[in-house]
Amino acid sequence: MTDESLDLRFTRFLLESQALKFGDFTLKSGRKSPYFINAGAFNDGGKIARLGEFYAEKIAAEIAAGSLPGDIDTVFGPAYKGIPLAVSTAIALTGEHGMTVGYTFDRKEKKDHGDGGMMVGTQLADGMKVLLVDDVMTAGTAVREVVPKLKAEADVEIVGLVLSVDRMEKTKDSDLSAVKAVEAEFGFPVMAIANVREIFEAGQSIMTADGTPYVTDEIAAAADAYLAQYGA
């Protein structure tokens, strides 16, 4: 068992998987960012299994801290990127943490044949405790789309949302971060395996094969400048 912190181990995983990129990226929001987290890099069984283990570790820690309930019924991931997150997290919670938990994801269009319906996996029922998982939140748009879908299926209790990374950026129409805005709007906690400040701090202590840090002083300065402009 390692003594390294979760955010340090997760940052190393992001770098090894080439999911964390440095450069000049235009985000969906239109902002120009010096870094980008690409969930598409988790493109094989080993990587997605490890990612699910990180989510499960974070969830177990939040349950132990009292931020999440211990009797979660199902982990929900919004289609499409959330599907492997929900499945791998449910597997890791069951296998690594002894929790019997389902997984659920939505269809983009309602199926009118076979088993039908909008949901795949554990079907939602009144009173169920549902935990949302997603990758990186920039504006919270996906959450605002998915909550009404869940509530239309059954009177479920959404107990929280777990992200891989919190970019810690304010929304376009307020000084709140997207995470804080969603918490205020929906009343459930939003937590991340790591936030960008933790990732950049960890990246300065993780070395490449030639002995230089992944996050150089130049990269760190660009990230600091970006967060000074857009950070919440």
Question: Which residues are annotated as catalytic?
Answer: 111, 113
d(CA 217, CA 223) in angstroms, rounded, equals 10
CB 58 within 8 A of CB 6: yes
CB 57 within 8 A of CB 192: no
Kindly give the pairing relationship between strand 117-121 and strand 102-111. Answer: antiparallel
Amino acid at 100: T
Across the chain, the runs of DSSP E, i.e. the strands, are 20-26, 32-37, 74-77, 102-111, 117-121, 129-137, 157-166, 190-195
Phi-psi region at 25: left, alpha or beta (left = phi > 0; alpha = psi -120 to 50): beta
Give the strand order in the sheet containing 190-195: 117-121, 102-111, 74-77, 129-137, 157-166, 190-195
For 85, the token pair is: 């997150």
d(CA 51, CA 89) in angstroms, rounded, equals 8
CB 89 within 8 A of CB 129: no
Q: What is the CA radius of gyration of the chain?
A: 18
